[in-house]
Structures are given as C-alpha cells and as structure tokens.
Amino acid sequence: MSLNNNIGAASQGTFSGPTRYKGMPQHQHQDRAERLFKAREQQKADAPQAMAEYHASIQRTRDRTEELRRQRLAREAQKMRKQARSA
C-alpha cells in the first residue's frame, strides 16, 4: 500500500484553500497602529523623568559607595593605630 493514495484536500496544507488566513480586518490594523502610536508618545513623554530618576539612582549609589569607602578606611586606620600602640 502506498502512502500517496491518501492525498486529498486535507494534504494541501494548513493555509491553502478557501479557509486561508487573510489577516486582520482594516479597522483592526488602524486600531493597533493607534495603540502603538499612543504608547510610543507616552514613552517619549515619560523619558525625561525616567532619565532623571536613572541618573539620581546612579548618584545615590556613588554617594553610598563613597561613604562606605570612607568608613572602611577609617576602620583600617584605627586598626593600624591600635596595632602600632600595642607593638
């Protein structure tokens, strides 16, 4: 028995024939485009504040790192002075 004997309408593929996918109706394309446009406009409007928050966060990290470094150096200096006195 040959496998080719069962060739019929079902073997033409998923997207062939009258039930073929045609895409979104035109109004859905326009709705989608408007949603995307509005989202991009909102992102543009939010960008300056987002960048300011980003830079403020970086500055807070730098300030905290500097403070921790100062504390570490002070501890190390105190430890060295203590060792120098006991020696």
**Would you kindly state where each structural domain of the chain is located, as residue ranges?**
47-87
Structure tokens at 22: 């045609």
CB 17 within 8 A of CB 9: yes
Structure tokens at 59: 């500055």
Model confidence, pTM? 0.53
- Which pLDDT tens digit goes with each residue over 27-84? 889 999 999 999 999 999 999 999 999 999 999 999 999 999 999 999 999 999 999 9
d(CA 82, CA 67): 23
